[in-house]
């Protein structure tokens, strides 16, 4: 995907997710399968996991290579990145540290949705300042995937929101059928 397709996909996937979150009732927003996160916690997790990218897109371009180094390989495709992420999940990888959400009350839903939309808009605005080659040269650390290119981080962010959307939808569907 080129930069414009990345921005479009980021916008579409996150908008689809926040539209879905907007229609959830209090019961749906707070429901969690045993040992799993509620929809509210999933939303909070997405805010926590996308927010660091704001700093990455705002830093002067020469800073990222000084901090994290430069890519020594071409960027993976979207499909390859998703496959690697799903493999890590199958191996038992889970969110850690600051990426683990607290319990989230229903009254926080609206502000979390606004915050996620704002974060995505800021990331997309910052992406406009990157050249196509910079997206493949700059690397960032990912807690599960290790050092990945900036383009791969955006691929991950595009997929990550859909991944959590699916988890919420599946849990609510299973709950509906079990009652």
- Over residues 28-55, the mean pLDDT reads 96
At residue 179, the pLDDT reads 59
Percent of the chain residues past pLDDT 90, beyond the cut: 93
At residue 152, the pLDDT reads 98
Tens digits of residue pLDDT in 63-93: 989 999 999 999 999 999 999 999 999 999 9
Which range has the worst mean pLDDT, 27-31, 62-66, 74-78, 149-153? 62-66
Parent domain of 74:
3-178
- Over residues 22-26, the mean pLDDT reads 97
Confidence of residue 97 (pLDDT cuts 50, 70, 90): very high
Which range has the worst mean pLDDT, 31-40, 60-69, 121-130? 60-69
Confidence of residue 175 (pLDDT cuts 50, 70, 90): confident
At residue 10, the pLDDT reads 97
Could you give the number of structural domains in the chain?
1
Read off the DSSP letter of residue 76.
P
CATH number at residue 53: 1.20.120.450
Confidence of residue 17 (pLDDT cuts 50, 70, 90): very high
At residue 174, the pLDDT reads 86
pTM of the predicted protein model: 0.95
- Over residues 31-54, the mean pLDDT reads 96
Which range has the worst mean pLDDT, 29-43, 53-67, 79-93? 53-67
Q: Find, among 4, 13, 8, 1, the residue nearest to 158 by Cα.
A: 13
> Residue 99 belongs to what H/E stretch?
none
């Amino acid at each position: 995907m080129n930069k414009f397709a990345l921005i479009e996909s980021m916008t579409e996937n996150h908008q689809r997710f926040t539209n879905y979150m907007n229609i959830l009732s209090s019961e749906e927003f707070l429901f969690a399968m045993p040992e799993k996160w509620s929809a509210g916690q999933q939303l909070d997790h997405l805010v926590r996991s996308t927010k660091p990218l704001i700093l990455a897109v705002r830093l002067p371009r020469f800073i990222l290579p000084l901090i994290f180094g430069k890519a020594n390989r071409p960027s993976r495709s979207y499909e390859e990145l998703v496959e690697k992420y799903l493999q890590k999940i199958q191996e038992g990888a889970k969110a850690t540290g600051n990426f683990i959400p607290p319990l989230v009350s229903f009254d926080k839903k609206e502000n979390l949705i606004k915050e996620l939309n704002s974060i995505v808009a800021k990331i997309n605005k910052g992406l406009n300042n990157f050249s196509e080659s910079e997206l493949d040269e700059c690397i960032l650390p990912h807690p599960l995937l290790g050092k990945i290119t900036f383009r791969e981080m955006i691929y991950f962010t595009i997929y990550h929101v859909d991944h959590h959307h699916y988890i919420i939808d599946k849990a609510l569907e299973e709950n509906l059928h079990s009652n």
